[in-house]
Chain A
Amino acid sequence: MMRRTVSVMATLSAVALALTACSSGSGSGGADPGDGGPITLDYWAWGTAQQPMVDAWNAAHPDIQVKRTDAGGGTDSSAKLVTATRAGNAPDVAIVEYNTLPAMIVAGVAGDISEHAEGLEDEFAPGVWSQVTFDGATYGVPQDAGPQALTYNQAKLDELGIEVPTTWEEFAVAAEKVHEADPDTYLTTFAPAEFGGFAGYAQQAGAEWWSVDGDTWTVDIDDAASVAVADYWQDLIDRDLVLAEPMLTPEWNAKVNQGEVLSWPAGLWAAGVLYGVAEESAGDWAMAPLPQWEEGDPAVGFQGGSAVVVTTSTEHPEAAAEFARWMGTADEASAAQIEQGQYPASLAGQELTLASDPPLLMPQQEDYWETAAEITRATIPEISWGPNVNVASSAFQDAMSTAVTNGTPLRDALTETEAEVVDDMETTGFEVTQK
């Protein structure tokens, strides 16, 4: 039970943030470079790979020292960045997920680094690079990438005599076979709150949820491709061939451990997450390219991945941009990343993975990194996220959960999501057309 007075809840937090802000002194501070001392940059980043990367930078750059703060995962960190920017004490550099980057630009958090980005484009595959460029300007340096793949329980599928599906049609047939063999076992999960996962499947099918033409945004979350994807999963849910429940709950984790959930089509990072959930089944798992809508078409979308941005609040934009570039492209940075199980965004970093051991979940899969590189080369080149993905994501989660719970059509949930997104953009003052 909450015992605090309701009326002050929201504002108390705001005041608390402001107070913390005052006490922590100048956020984008550090010594004045004029006095010859080293510059100190504040850097907000989450994940195990960050500290080793920062340590490597600090060892090599005595003049620009970086202090890392873990301000929470993607959603939390972004929410804090917005508040801190308004309070005028944001860090100099921060990690932002690709799909939140437009929201960070519109909120005035991420600064334009085009003038420091010379030659940067060649370091990345076009699909990755398009995640950080908007309207001709560059707002970040890609750091890690999460192209979608199929992480599956190879031991179980072999036991059931099921081949790894290469198309979604085969995937449905496989789901049927798995469920026939044991009604408690499912090939995969359709978690209604997995916005990023669904967005990736829809991108693969050719969906374009946001697009810009001149000053006008076009929003089309219930386009034909997305509706087709929704209908595909609808059919699997209706026939009880997929587990339509939230993921990564104690319940779900138990099922994965018991071999009752056999695959997860998600970003490449899924191997790390599954290892945390089902360490004992390491060696049973493997990774393959995501099933396709059309046989032979290798395209896949992204789920997750992030970029390093330089904030508008920094007093050292040049040093900050240099650091961001190093984090995204230097070999030392990539090496630290790979060791921690992240997939680097840069082409050179991806090259480096080829000499590395496969992830802990599938130590037996010798061709893991080759497959990963192949998948990454086939990612869709142009994906654009809108300025209010946070609204889309929260609307999607509720609409989808309700649809699954009440048995109403998933495609209607897409229409509802679109209506909320457009409404929010219109209220804010964007020019929007709805398809």
Chain B
Amino acid sequence: MTPGRRWGAPLLFLLPAALLFVAFLAIPICYALYLSFRGMRMAGGGPFGVRQETWVGLDNYVAAFTDPELLAGLGRLAIYGAIAVPLTLGLALTFALLLDLPRVRGSRFSRTAIFIPYAVPGVVATLLWGFLYLPSTSPAGWILERVGLGSIDVLHGPMIFPSVANIAIWGGVGFNMIILYTSLRGIPVDVYEAARLDGASEWDIAYRIKIPLVAPALTLTGLFALIGTLQVYGEPTTLRPMTSAISQTWVPLMMIYRDAFTRDNLSLAAASSVVLALGTLVVSVILLRVTQKRSFGES
């Protein structure tokens, strides 16, 4: 065989993926980078002169970095993440461990029940929760009112963070649970038998065997949860019309959307997107570095 023929088949098989990658990832990323150095500026004079796209250098990056709202948005994101990520992972792990106990009853039903919220589209879930949050449409509000406790408004003040996080947790636990549960099922049972012979309780088994062995899966779900947090957009955007507590710049992605489509400033949105993407990359790499040694046993 000539070298050319040896490479022909693999290249052919690579082609669809490569084409899709170039068309839908590489080109848009390059275009975003290009756009982030451009801007709409007045061409002619006059109060109603037409704006045209020109080269503006680093103006957009300067604007993105000097806007206090982007930083404030990241701050709100951090609060949201501090609530959503540990609770999602903690609940998912708890459920997975409970379902993995020997002699557990109704495990198939529970597994499906916990997983189903993940199948509900985010916007639908947010609308459902929104109706549950608003005092006059909420059954909880109705009961509290009847009991004489008055209504609790969970869409105002600092309560907005747990309210938004709750929706993501509700939708995300099932997915993470399935990953962890699958990983648990992959552990050979003789490990448990040996432990039991040595007198280990179910608690010991969970704490000393199961959790360390599913650490790679935990790292993976943790990474997903972290990236998911940085990309929060749907829930707060859908809740926004119902409360004054969520601004148009509540989280960075909402700000990017506002700049691109409400304010017709695609270039600034592109610059902020690049900044956010680089930030996500850095955070992900750090997380992987920190956890790599422990969870994958690599040095």
Chain A residues with CB under 8 Å of chain B are 1-15, 75, 79, 82, 102-103, 105-108, 134-135, 137, 192-193, 212, 214-217, 244-246, 248-251, 254-255, 258, 387-388, 390-391, 393-394, 397-398, 401-402, 404-405, 424, 427-431
Q: Which of A135, A388, A397 contacts B48 (CB 8 A)?
A: A135
A1 B228 Cβ-Cβ under 8 A: yes
Is B42 an interface residue, CB under 8 A from the partner? Answer: yes
Q: Which of A107, A137, A397 contacts B264 (CB 8 A)?
A: A107
Contacts of A107 in B (CB 8 A): 50-51, 264
Chain A nearest Cβ from B96, distance in angstroms? 19
Contacts of A393 in B (CB 8 A): 262
Q: Which of A244, A255, A405, A424 contacts B245 (CB 8 A)?
A: A405
Selecting from B102-110, B128-136, B185-193, B291-299, the interface stretch reads: B128-136
Contacts of B196 in A (CB 8 A): none
Contacts of B264 in A (CB 8 A): 79, 82, 103, 107, 390
B31 A254 Cβ-Cβ under 8 A: no
Chain A nearest Cβ from B280, distance in angstroms? 6
A1 B234 Cβ-Cβ under 8 A: yes
A250 B131 Cβ-Cβ under 8 A: yes
User: With A1-B232, A106-B49, A134-B48 as given contacts, are A6 and B276 in contact (CB-CB < 8 Å)?
Assistant: yes
B172 A1 Cβ-Cβ under 8 A: yes
A6 B230 Cβ-Cβ under 8 A: yes
Contacts of A13 in B (CB 8 A): 260
How many Å lie between the Cα of A107 and that of B49 in the bound state? 9
Q: For B264, give the chain A residue with the smallest CB separation.
A: A82
User: With A79-B262, A107-B51 as given contacts, are A428 and B40 in contact (CB-CB < 8 Å)?
Assistant: yes
Chain A nearest Cβ from B123, distance in angstroms? 11
Is B111 an interface residue, CB under 8 A from the partner? Answer: no
Contacts of A397 in B (CB 8 A): 247-248
A255 B230 Cβ-Cβ under 8 A: no
Chain B residues with CB under 8 Å of chain A are 24-25, 27-29, 31-32, 35, 39-42, 45-51, 59, 63, 122, 130-131, 134-137, 156-157, 168, 171-172, 228, 230-234, 241-245, 247-249, 253, 256, 258, 260-264, 266, 269-270, 273-274, 276-277, 280
A401 B51 Cβ-Cβ under 8 A: no
Most buried by B among A1, A11, A13, A398: A1
Contacts of A215 in B (CB 8 A): 45-47
Chain B nearest Cβ from A11, distance in angstroms? 4
Chain B nearest Cβ from A219, distance in angstroms? 12
B248 A7 Cβ-Cβ under 8 A: no
B134 A428 Cβ-Cβ under 8 A: no
How many Å lie between the Cα of A12 and that of B24 in the bound state? 7
Contacts of A430 in B (CB 8 A): 42, 47
Contacts of A8 in B (CB 8 A): 24-25, 28-29, 32, 273
Q: A5-B25, A6-B253, A6-B276 are in contact. List 8 more A-B contacts (CB 8 A).
A: A8-B32, A10-B32, A10-B273, A214-B47, A246-B244, A249-B242, A398-B249, A428-B42
A75 B262 Cβ-Cβ under 8 A: yes
Contacts of A244 in B (CB 8 A): 244
B270 A250 Cβ-Cβ under 8 A: no
Most buried by B among A6, A192, A216, A251: A6
B247 A401 Cβ-Cβ under 8 A: yes
Chain A nearest Cβ from B214, distance in angstroms? 22
Q: Which of A5, A15, A390 contacts B27 (CB 8 A)?
A: A15
Chain A nearest Cβ from B255, distance in angstroms? 10
Chain A nearest Cβ from B177, distance in angstroms? 15
Contacts of B260 in A (CB 8 A): 10, 13
A250 B130 Cβ-Cβ under 8 A: yes
B263 A390 Cβ-Cβ under 8 A: yes
Chain A nearest Cβ from B293, distance in angstroms? 27
Contacts of A431 in B (CB 8 A): 47
Contacts of B59 in A (CB 8 A): 427
How many Å lie between the Cα of A245 and that of B244 in the bound state? 7
User: With A10-B270, A107-B51, A428-B41 as given contacts, are A251 and B135 in contact (CB-CB < 8 Å)?
Assistant: yes
Q: Which of A394, A401, A402 contacts B262 (CB 8 A)?
A: A394
User: With A10-B270, A15-B31, A212-B47 as given contacts, are A2 and B233 in contact (CB-CB < 8 Å)?
Assistant: yes
How many Å lie between the Cα of A6 and that of B256 in the bound state? 10
How many Å lie between the Cα of A82 and that of B153 in the bound state? 40
B273 A7 Cβ-Cβ under 8 A: yes
How many Å lie between the Cα of A390 and that of B40 in the bound state? 15
A254 B231 Cβ-Cβ under 8 A: no
Contacts of B40 in A (CB 8 A): 428
User: With A391-B263, A398-B249, A428-B51 as given contacts, are A404 and B244 in contact (CB-CB < 8 Å)?
Assistant: yes
Contacts of A192 in B (CB 8 A): 244
Contacts of A429 in B (CB 8 A): 41-42, 51
**The 5 residue pairs across chains A and B that have the minimum distance between CB atoms:** A7-B277, A429-B42, A401-B244, A2-B231, A11-B28
How many Å lie between the Cα of A14 and that of B260 in the bound state? 10
Chain A nearest Cβ from B118, distance in angstroms? 10
How many Å lie between the Cα of A254 and that of B122 in the bound state? 24
A387 B48 Cβ-Cβ under 8 A: yes
Chain B nearest Cβ from A173, distance in angstroms? 27
Q: For B23, give the chain A residue with the smallest CB separation.
A: A15
A246 B49 Cβ-Cβ under 8 A: no
Chain B nearest Cβ from A404, distance in angstroms? 6
Q: For B252, give the chain A residue with the smallest CB separation.
A: A6
Contacts of B25 in A (CB 8 A): 5, 8
User: With A4-B231, A7-B29, A250-B242 as given contacts, are A14 and B266 in contact (CB-CB < 8 Å)?
Assistant: yes
B234 A11 Cβ-Cβ under 8 A: no
Chain A nearest Cβ from B222, distance in angstroms? 14
How many Å lie between the Cα of A249 and that of B242 in the bound state? 6
Q: Which of B46, B231, B258 contacts A3 (CB 8 A)?
A: B231
Chain A nearest Cβ from B226, distance in angstroms? 11
Chain B nearest Cβ from A16, distance in angstroms? 9
Q: For B53, give the chain A residue with the smallest CB separation.
A: A86
Chain A nearest Cβ from B133, distance in angstroms? 9
How many Å lie between the Cα of A12 and that of B273 in the bound state? 12
Chain B nearest Cβ from A400, distance in angstroms? 8
How many Å lie between the Cα of A79 and that of B262 in the bound state? 7
How many Å lie between the Cα of A3 and that of B231 in the bound state? 7
How many Å lie between the Cα of A103 and that of B48 in the bound state? 9
Q: For A423, give the chain B residue with the smallest CB separation.
A: B63
Q: For A397, give the chain B residue with the smallest CB separation.
A: B248
Q: For B250, give the chain A residue with the smallest CB separation.
A: A398
Contacts of B32 in A (CB 8 A): 7-8, 10-11
B137 A2 Cβ-Cβ under 8 A: no
B256 A402 Cβ-Cβ under 8 A: no
